Structure 1
Amino acid sequence: MLLKVRGLSKSFDGLQAVSGVDFDLPQGEVRALIGPNGAGKTTLVGMICGRIAPTSGTVTFDGEDITRLPAHKRILKGMAYTFQITSIFPRLPVQENVALAARRRLQGRAVEAAAAEALGRVGLKAQADEDAGNLSYGHQRLLEIAMGLVQAPRLLILDEPTQGLSEGEIEAFKALIRALAGETTILLIEHNMKVVMETADTVSVLNFGEMLAEGTPQQIHENADVQAAYLGTG
């Protein structure tokens, strides 16, 4: 099991954001994490990637307890996380943004080659020389994905990646996820249910900080509790 979460909880000033979550993510799987706004998804992912310290519980990555490991050290272990709010360097060219991320694992000409490949995969090769801040919001999200991909992560965590993308870009994103499925493990936090249903192997549903259900996209779609809590058909 690549990622194992046990009893993970987080409270902020007495408010229980995440409560006793158990979560297993096998290597090579595309897992979608869904739930209503305020369900605790971003808090849970923040604890997994090391940006939020849990109140209790453990996070294990590839057999190692990383619960107290800071975020930058988790990156070195093979985790990459794209933010719900873009975290690019707006005054640097698109290519240089990706190259900076690539230098965490590569040197010399290999950096340029890897950056170019990553930009090609997300459809931004033509924008390589533009300042990142001049990109549309949707293209900035794609740039973030390229910055994650170029690190060759073992676990790629994508937080609302299709927000701001056009229909055509969403179709390209779905194709990218399908292509990546054999290369890396993906944890996808996503509100677009069409994207979830068409790309995920397994779906985990968070509600009021607790794990409500897990299953295949079809099982989740047919789950009465999920329909009532999230899909709006209950």
Structure 2
Amino acid sequence: MTILSTRGLSKSFDGLQAVTNVDFDLPQGEVRALIGPNGAGKTTLVGMICGRIEPTSGRVQFDGQDITSLPAHARIMRGMAYTFQITSVFARLPVTENVALAARRRLTGGAVDSAVENALARVGLTDEAHEEAGNLSYGHQRLLEIAMGLAQSPRLLILDEPTQGLSEGEIDDFKALIRELAGDTTILLIEHNMNVVMETADQVSVLNFGEILAEGTPQEIHENAAVQAAYLGTG
């Protein structure tokens, strides 16, 4: 079953075409990596998928329903969670309250506390639960953001550059987390770290100049001459 699909999705800003006629299908339970050079249109495409950017043309479907006109908060209620490329935590609030605020978007009562505890344990932040979020390192703030996404029990979790600012050990833990989540939650991963992509993704979509350049397994993408020329710096 396809949980997310786009057809002819396009966006232009003041005449500049950022994304052009993207047809994209994401099967339920898959870990899909979205890669491409800086300026390829990845963040714009994801912004249209999650409802933060209105498309110039095209459609977005989630779980078989057309959601093109739905605002971001309505997409969250349907089971879509998005973590930002730039951390968006509430710096003056404790770590637990950051996660609880996210959990309350979809849960109530005792389910919130359970979701918070589970999400923090999954990203390794249990010991920092009562710290002010602003006191965390940048890497830990990124992990907190992932916990905020997980606490919403999403059917689709969109992670935008999640390993940026993480140490090698934290990246290893992140890869283990993705492997643990795989199958239970569909994941769309926007990532520059090719080791992370190669080790976690089932399939990879490559965006270049706002268009899908190639799709395939990590190995197929690694060996693709067009991708090597456009993105991997060889060939």
The normalised TM-score by structure 2 is 0.99
Deviation, structure 1 residue 204: 0.1
The one-letter amino acid of 2:107's match is L
- Structure 1 segments, 4+ long, off by >4 Å, are none
Residue 36 (structure 1) aligned with residue 40 (structure 2): no
Deviation, structure 1 residue 104: 1.8
Q: Aligned residue for 1:203? A: 204
Tell me, what secondary structure is at the counterpart of 2:87? coil
1: distance between equivalents of 2:210 and 2:103? 35
Q: Aligned residue for 2:63? A: 62
Tell me, what secondary structure is at the counterpart of 1:98? helix
The one-letter amino acid of 1:117's match is N
2: distance between equivalents of 1:209 and 1:104? 32
Fraction of identical pairs, as percent: 82
1: distance between equivalents of 2:31 and 2:110? 31
1: distance between equivalents of 2:195 and 2:15? 36
Deviation, structure 1 residue 109: 2.5
Tell me, what secondary structure is at the counterpart of 1:183? coil
2: distance between equivalents of 1:108 and 1:19? 44
Q: What is the correspondence of 1:67-86 to structure 2 with a 5 Å cutoff?
A: 67-86=68-87
Cα deviation 1:134-162 (Å, max 9, x = unaligned): 10111000000000001010000000000
1: distance between equivalents of 2:145 and 2:108? 20
Residue 133 (structure 1) aligned with residue 122 (structure 2): no
1: distance between equivalents of 2:107 and 2:46? 27
2: distance between equivalents of 1:161 and 1:59? 24
The one-letter amino acid of 1:226's match is V
Cα deviation 1:57-111 (Å, max 9, x = unaligned): 0000011000111000000000000000111110000011001111122222321
Tell me, what secondary structure is at the counterpart of 2:18? strand
Of stretches 192-201 and 106-115 in structure 1, the one that deviates more from structure 2 is 106-115
Tell me, what secondary structure is at the counterpart of 1:85? coil
The normalised TM-score by structure 1 is 0.99
Tell me, what secondary structure is at the counterpart of 2:40? coil
2: distance between equivalents of 1:227 and 1:190? 16
Q: What is the correspondence of 1:78-117 to structure 2 with a 5 Å cutoff?
A: 78-117=79-118
The one-letter amino acid of 2:118's match is E
2: distance between equivalents of 1:107 and 1:73? 17
